[in-house]
Amino acid sequence: MVELVETPIPGLLLVRLDVHEDARGWFKENWQRAKLADLGLPDLGPVQHNVAYNHRRGTLRGIHAEPWDKLISVVTGRVFGAYVDLRAGETFGQVVTVEADPSIAVLVPRGVGNAYQTLEDGTAYSYLVNDHWSPDATYVAVDAADPALAIPWPIPPAESVMSEKDRANPWLSDVDPMPVRRPMILGADGQVGRALVAAFPGAWRVSREEVDLTDSEAVAGLPWRDTDVVLNAAAYTGVDAAETPEGRRAAWAVNAALPATLARLSIEHGCTLVHYSTDYVFDGTAVGPDGHEEDEPLSPLGVYGQSKAAGDVAIGTAPRHYLLRTSWVVGDGANFVRTMQRLAADGVSPAVVDDQVGRLTFTDELVHATRHLLDGQAPYGTYNVTNGGAPTSWYDVARAVFRLAGREESDVTSTSTAAYSHGKQLAPRPLDSVLDLAKLRATGFEPEDAMAALERYVRGGTAQADSRP
């Protein structure tokens, strides 16, 4: 029976494999993706298979930490494996040792130093890695004989067969820890991006002014090797401008081509990809009893929705992805609520559509849900994410903003989408933008009521309650 065993070093896992032996020899499944994934082993996504053969007992290789994950397994013979956490953090310097034969495999995460001393002549071990060697990558090594590590080598390093390079490795006290991988935020200057920057203070920040996100080579040149989670908040959101020739090209470049590039690169570098989408991928008619469900067929009305729908399809090709569909976004920047506040302050009495129904999504709530899904390791896939409470119309929201701003609700009058659009060059809008939140709630996340968040936002506080965990 295959078994997964955790160790004191986070991410360092032992895998006890089934070895089937008879008079002919033995057989084992050294890498069986589906079976190991069911046990909880991360999907390694190997890109290279290496074999190290050692002539003599007492051969010692390491201790090396590489910027990739690898699964090591003995092919023949026995080894004594030593593992040292060389990543920045509380477990820096933690040591784990194990004696392994063909029945033991070890998943070594990025930044954990690993060394192997052979206990028999003619020992060979293989390892799968999920990235290619690069001279520009960060590598860290430590002296196998460092007394601070106190590794109980069966054969003292001084009596082992070692390379001169390994004998010259520094002691732990002289080692610079390998930096941990960080999130990367694309579109860091937008409403959602600014909220993500606040929630992920150590993240790489990429704005569209700094990097041309429509240039696939420029995107590929970002620090992918040092990134674990990519949060794509970049989007072309000019719903009406997308209907023009120039806007159409821009929308497809940012909303469709960029996600396709990100999906490809996230697969190549083993990153988790978080992408933010929209209710505009639906036409606002074919809804379930509680709103549009995640698996509802895409049916966009205009160019903006079509380009976002194409991006959704591209994101779905990445095995490790969270596609978060949202609606009516409100955050730090230009948005409907800020517009209504300005009109209220200026003494304007606007007419607002009352036949478009949905829920507000405050960026703080969207980011809170993002952290919840990532930290809780929720199943990958598509999730609807908005604030909670009863659906409202834009007219309802405008009246609430006026009331909170000290104006009479009656100063806002209602109109229909057809009447408001008459004589204007406007893109079609979905009339029903309500998103079903059952799948999100099933992960243990309860969205905050949109009207409670609206009141706090208008009064100048944070959109999300301070009491939320």
Q: Where are the alpha helices (DSSP H) in 133-186?
A: 164-167
Distance CA 337, CA 329 (A): 10
Set 64, 292, 368, 372: catalytic member: 64
Distance CA 361, CA 149 (A): 51
In the residue annotation, 383 being an active-site residue is answered as no
Q: Are 60 and 162 in contact (CB under 8 A)?
A: yes
Distance CA 376, CA 318 (A): 19
Whether residue 9 has a cis bond before it, omega within 30° of 0: no
Q: Are 39 and 52 in contact (CB under 8 A)?
A: no
CA-CA distances (angstroms) from residue 281 to 296, 302, 306, 339, 367? 10, 9, 7, 25, 21
Distance CA 466, CA 459 (A): 15
Neighbours of 290 (CB within 10 A): 13
Residues near 461 by beta carbon (within 8 Å), at least 6 away in sequence: none
**Of 362, 349, 243, nearest to 304 (Cα)?**
243
In the residue annotation, 368 being an active-site residue is answered as no
Number of helices (H) and strands (E), helices first, in the chain? 13, 25
Which strands sit side by side in the sheet containing 70-76, from one edge to the other? 3-6, 13-16, 104-108, 70-76, 123-129, 48-54
Set 125, 127, 395, 457: catalytic member: 127
Cross-strand bridge partners of residue 140: 65
State in Å, rounded, how far the first CA of the chain is from the last one: 40
CA-CA distances (angstroms) from residue 98 to 12, 69, 80, 82, 102? 12, 18, 6, 7, 13
CA-CA distances (angstroms) from residue 43 to 36, 69, 226? 8, 10, 18
CA-CA distances (angstroms) from residue 160 to 28, 59, 164, 292, 411? 30, 6, 12, 65, 86
Cross-strand bridge partners of residue 349: none
Q: Are 96 and 21 in contact (CB under 8 A)?
A: no
User: Which residues are catalytic, by number?
Assistant: 64, 127
